Amino acid sequence: MSGNSNKLLATEQFRQRKLKEKGINLNVLVVGENGVGKRSFMNTLCKGDHYTSDVAESDTFLIEIKDIIAYLEAIIPIKLRVAMTQNFGFNLDNYSNIDSLASFVDEGFRSFLEQEIKIDRNPHFVDRRIHVALYFIRTSGRGLSELDRACMKKLGQKVNLIPILAKADGLTDDELELNKFQVMKSIHDNDIQIYDFADSNSCSDEDEQMFILSLQQKVPFAAISSNTADYKYRTTDWGTIVLGDEQNCDMVALEGVLFCSHLEQLKDTTSTTKYEQFRVQRLRK
């Protein structure tokens, strides 16, 4: 028995060592208007000064690509490919932005499909399929805007969509509760597909069920970004907010979802559901 245990331990140690050497790839799409805190959020999430706060606004919609290394449990590197919108919703007519986002997602699927059906595949091919889209929502107390509804409706059909309330530090507890309620009402009323944590987990363990239920109840996640060097706090005129305190915001839960508990499930859902839908539709043409 002890021999089998030693073999299992050795196998797990080997797996962990390989993960540490190779890392885990995660492709993230970050969507939202200018000024909602997308860049400071990613700096906080990844514990590094990867983005500057100054962005030149223009009427040109862009998707900025940046490669970032974060760490799972401070050991295993997570190789993030972050695609972030610039000047989204900046024009009077912004629906072309939605089409551009949908085309961007489809391009990742298309390039993977082309590689998949080749006889001789490129061993160095990089998978650009989007595993999760983080959609930043302004806190207005009125739910989703018309642009939000249209964009989330289209993106939710193509990617694992997670809604985020931007700059939640500017809200009282009652205002935060109201904003969460109104956003979820807009999502349900408009049949918008968002990532369903309950569907992603079929475990019968009671503790895990409670954990999944707690995540479902946090949606949309309340984001507060750090403005300190250690990325643990946000200082304001009225005091200091501890980002690790789940009574203040959902940053700990978000980091856990993206980098730990649901990292592989987000990737699996992308492959088995979102990409598969694209593949079937494309091959039927």
Instruction: Summarize pLDDT for 210-259 with one digit per residue, the tens.
Output: 999 999 999 999 999 999 999 999 999 889 999 999 999 999 999 999 99
Tens of pLDDT along 21-34? 678 999 999 999 99
pLDDT band of residue 12 (cuts 50, 70, 90) is very low
Q: Which two tokens stand for residue 85?
A: 């919108």
- Domain 25-284: which topology? Rossmann fold (3.40.50)
Amino acid present at 245: D
Which residue did the predictor score with more confidence, 202 or 167?
A: 167
- Boundaries of every domain in the chain: 25-284
Return the pLDDT at 8: 47
Inter-residue contact 161 to 155 (CB < 8 Å): yes
**pTM of the full predicted structure?**
0.92
Return the pLDDT at 242: 96
Closest CA relative to residue 36, chosen from 53, 61, 48: 53
pLDDT band of residue 7 (cuts 50, 70, 90) is very low
State yes or no: pLDDT of 77 exceeds 60: yes
Give the Cα-Cα-Cα angle 141, 142, 147 (nearest 5 degrees): 125
Inter-residue contact 161 to 135 (CB < 8 Å): yes
Inter-residue contact 107 to 86 (CB < 8 Å): no
Return the pLDDT at 264: 94
Instruction: Give me the residues paired with residue 81 across strands.
Output: 27, 67
State yes or no: pLDDT of 5 exceeds 80: no
Average pLDDT, stretch 177-202?
91
Q: What SS3 string covers the chain?
A: CHHHHHHHHHHHHHHHHHHHHHCEEEEEEEECCCCCCHHHHHHHHHCCCCCCCCCCCCCCCEEEEEEEEEEECCCEEEEEEEEEEECCCCCCCCHHHHHHHHHHHHHHHHHHHHHHCCCCCCCCCCCCCCCEEEEEECCCCCCCCHHHHHHHHHHHCCCCEEEEECCHHHCCHHHHHHHHHHHHHHHHHCCCCCCCCCCCCCCCCHHHHHHHHHHHHHCCEECCCCCCCCCCEEEECCEEEECCCCCCCCHHHHHHHHHHHCHHHHHHHHHHHHHHHHHHHHHHC
Q: Which residue has the tokens 């193509």?
A: 158
